[in-house]
Amino acid sequence: MTAWVTRLREFYTHLGMTLGEFERLAGIDATTLSRYLSGRRLPEISFISKLDDAILARTHSRMGAEVRASVRELYLAACRTYEPQRYQVYMLVDAVAAAQERAERAEEAVWELRAELQAEQQRRRELEMSLHQLEVRVGSDRDLEVVRQAMAQVVAERDRLEVQWKQHSAELVAALQQQHVVVHAHDQLVSELRAAEQLLDEHLEIQWGTTTPGSADRRVSLSKAPRRRWGLRLNRSRRTALEQLRMEAERAASELPTLASRFATGDTTPLALPSSARGVHADIEISRVADAMDNVVRAAVRLAVEQAMFANLSRRSQGLIRRQLTLISGLESRENDPERLNSLFQIDYLAGRMRRNGENLLALAGEEPAPVWSRPIPLTDVLRAAVTELEHYKRIELGASLPIAEIAGRAVNDLVYLLAELLENATSFSAPDTTVQVTGHALPDGRLLIEIHDAGIGLSPEELAAINERLASPLTVDISVSRRMGLFVVGRLSQRHGIRIQLRPSDSGGTTALVMLPVGALHNGSEAGETDTQTGSGYSTA
């Protein structure tokens, strides 16, 4: 309590105002504020926000994040010592809020993945139409029939994936409905805690002499003594129950990541998760909170299982698509008719786009999208590989003076996908008769800067700031991901290798994307002479 009161007095002295001014700015009566400053009463946790509002009104700036965190820590330390019942409620509220936030993020991820699946269905229909047109032209071509069979397998896998995610969405909605029960139970606990606090304040007033013994107020206070004793006994029993719930929540939080990792590696051995068990807690409100916590844990387990299943299905689909691309490449090499060759190129692009979308989905699930190269690849070959991923590849112009550098094998695949997404954005948001310029520069400190310039309509400063923030911190999945899935994946891939990406307005109009490759993403000679183990790609290093 001493540290909390000292810190509170420091704020009061630093603001340089009277108790009346503090009362007006904080919206709390002077008597209560005096008790806070003297340590005779501990405020509710919402007082920290009111204190921040007072600081803003007085100094035109709020507390910094670190200062606010330290103030909250001091408050909770005092609360843990002098009002442990209230502290247990705060800890439980924090645990439930964190679980609710994770469930909301998972729900948003489901919506994003559902939108991506719808886009995949549209591309699948386009690919089927192109295959049908090609079949009409070439008749009973045996190679084309093999391609159609591979495509049918891809379609079946996609349909199965869609069914899984529909079930996932329904279960997640049921879990979110349980969150409302948690909120209601929390409100009931807070109301009863405030009633107990009021009784405790009356006791403190008598102890500190603020009410004259023998007065009418004292008679009223003494008449409430049985009720105070009942409230204190109730709080002591709840303290034990809340402590048990807090320990269960901490155990669940520590074991759920382990469970998710085991499912991701294919280990489905059951893992005993904490369960608060219906009926253990006599208090009906605490029992409801315990039941809701069990539901949150079960929903998190289902999410981990279905995320692992989703990743496995995506990997299987990726294998089928790679086989399909190999067959299409064979058809292209043997085709001489320009019209048929053009149709094959369109099928090749659509299949390649499906492969890239599958890589994006794996990146969303936190998986490594493809096998890595065990030897370095020249920068020019990496850029060319990224260009071949585009439908409008003819609009890309690589600079004549690109620096001579090699990309470390472990970063090659991610850099190709990253550059392909940026290049596709540049071609999509600029006129079809314009070109996209790609240049590169070696910096004195060993880093490498790649610039992508388009001649589009550009972005507003607010949009640029929002996108750059998304690229710098892509960890949170929200509803905006469906509109900029490519940029979200770019942010995820860049974080793996410490690559910095920033969008800026171009001097000649449009937008410039800056890609800063750190020294760690470049080859330093340690990979030379190793055997290339990459499969399913066709990067040329000649």
Where is the domain boundary, 296, 313, 330? 313
Rg over alpha carbons for the chain, rounded to the nearest Å, is: 31
Q: What confidence score (pLDDT) does residue 355 get?
A: 76
Q: What confidence score (pLDDT) does residue 388 get?
A: 87
Which CATH number do you get for residue 464?
Answer: 3.30.565.10
Q: What confidence score (pLDDT) does residue 529 get?
A: 37
Asked whether the predicted pLDDT for residue 406 surpasses 60, the reply is: yes
Cβ(498)–Cβ(520) under 8 Å?
yes
Q: Is 482 inside any structural domain?
A: yes
Asked whether the predicted pLDDT for residue 73 surpasses 50, the reply is: yes
Share of the chain above pLDDT 90, in %: 13
Which whole number is the average pLDDT over 73-81? 86
Highest-pLDDT range among 29-38, 60-69, 246-255, 382-391? 382-391
CA–CA gap between residue 197 and residue 307 (Å, rounded) = 45
Asked whether the predicted pLDDT for residue 61 surpasses 80, the reply is: yes
Q: Is 529 inside any structural domain?
A: no
Asked whether the predicted pLDDT for residue 449 surpasses 90, the reply is: yes
Calculate the alpha carbon distances from 111 to 98, 204, 500 in Å. 20, 53, 28
Which whole number is the average pLDDT over 468-475? 76
Same domain, 108 and 66: no
Cβ(139)–Cβ(84) under 8 Å?
no
Q: What confidence score (pLDDT) does residue 212 get?
A: 43
The pLDDT mean for the chain works out to 73
Q: What confidence score (pLDDT) does residue 438 get?
A: 96
Where is the domain boundary, 26, 59, 82? 82
Q: What confidence score (pLDDT) does residue 226 get?
A: 45
Same domain, 73 and 13: yes
Highest-pLDDT range among 41-55, 348-362, 432-446? 432-446
Q: Is 348 inside any structural domain?
A: no
Q: What confidence score (pLDDT) does residue 230 get?
A: 42
Where is the domain boundary, 270, 297, 313? 313
pLDDT band of residue 422 (cuts 50, 70, 90) is: very high
Q: What confidence score (pLDDT) does residue 538 get?
A: 43
Which whole number is the average pLDDT over 377-400? 91
Q: Which residue has the higher pLDDT, 423 or 85?
A: 423
Same domain, 440 and 500: yes
Q: Which residue has the higher pLDDT, 64 or 107?
A: 64
Asked whether the predicted pLDDT for residue 337 surpasses 90, the reply is: no
Chain position carrying tokens 């049985």: 226
pLDDT band of residue 448 (cuts 50, 70, 90) is: very high
Asked whether the predicted pLDDT for residue 491 surpasses 70, the reply is: yes
pLDDT band of residue 309 (cuts 50, 70, 90) is: low
Q: Is 531 inside any structural domain?
A: no
Q: Residue 7: which H helix or E strand, with range? A: helix 2-15
Q: What confidence score (pLDDT) does residue 235 get?
A: 53
Q: Is 388 inside any structural domain?
A: yes
Cα dihedral sign, 369-370-374-378: negative
pLDDT in tens, 227-277: 444 444 445 555 566 666 666 666 666 666 666 566 555 555 555 555 544
Contacts with 243 (C-beta within 8 Å, 6 or more apart), sequence order: 88
Q: What confidence score (pLDDT) does residue 517 get?
A: 95
Q: What confidence score (pLDDT) does residue 282 get?
A: 47
Which whole number is the average pLDDT over 200-216? 50
Strand partners, 505: 511
Same domain, 71 and 103: no
Calculate the alpha carbon distances from 302 to 95, 247, 256, 355, 391 in Å. 19, 22, 11, 27, 38
Q: Is 326 inside any structural domain?
A: no
Which whole number is the average pLDDT over 117-143? 70
Q: Which residue has the higher pLDDT, 249 or 522?
A: 522
Q: Which residue from 164, 143, 483 is spatially nearest to 303, judged by alpha carbons?
A: 164
Cβ(386)–Cβ(138) under 8 Å?
no
Highest-pLDDT range among 81-90, 144-153, 163-172, 398-407? 398-407
Q: What confidence score (pLDDT) does residue 443 get?
A: 92
Q: Which residue has the higher pLDDT, 423 or 349?
A: 423
Q: Is 359 inside any structural domain?
A: no
Q: Which residue has the higher pLDDT, 402 or 100?
A: 402
Same domain, 163 and 71: no
CA–CA gap between residue 488 and residue 472 (Å, rounded) = 10
Same domain, 67 and 13: yes
Sheet holding 500-505, edge to edge: 396-398, 436-442, 448-453, 511-517, 500-505
Same domain, 58 and 160: no
Same domain, 200 and 177: yes
Q: What confidence score (pLDDT) does residue 453 get?
A: 94
Cα 14 vs. chain centroid, distance in angstroms?
39
Q: What confidence score (pLDDT) does residue 383 get?
A: 95
Give me 135's structure tokens.
Answer: 């079949």
Same domain, 132 and 268: yes
Strand partners, 500: 516
Same domain, 276 and 154: yes
Same domain, 95 and 237: yes
Q: What confidence score (pLDDT) does residue 477 get?
A: 53
Lowest mean pLDDT among 100-109, 182-191, 223-232, 498-507: 223-232
Asked whether the predicted pLDDT for residue 289 surpasses 70, the reply is: no
Which CATH number do you get for residue 7?
Answer: 1.10.260
Share of the chain above pLDDT 70, in %: 58
Q: Is 533 inside any structural domain?
A: no
For residue 172, the enclosing domain spans 89-313
Q: What confidence score (pLDDT) does residue 364 get?
A: 65
Domain count, the chain: 3
Highest-pLDDT range among 139-143, 227-231, 273-277, 525-529? 139-143
Same domain, 189 and 301: yes
Q: Which residue has the higher pLDDT, 226 or 72?
A: 72
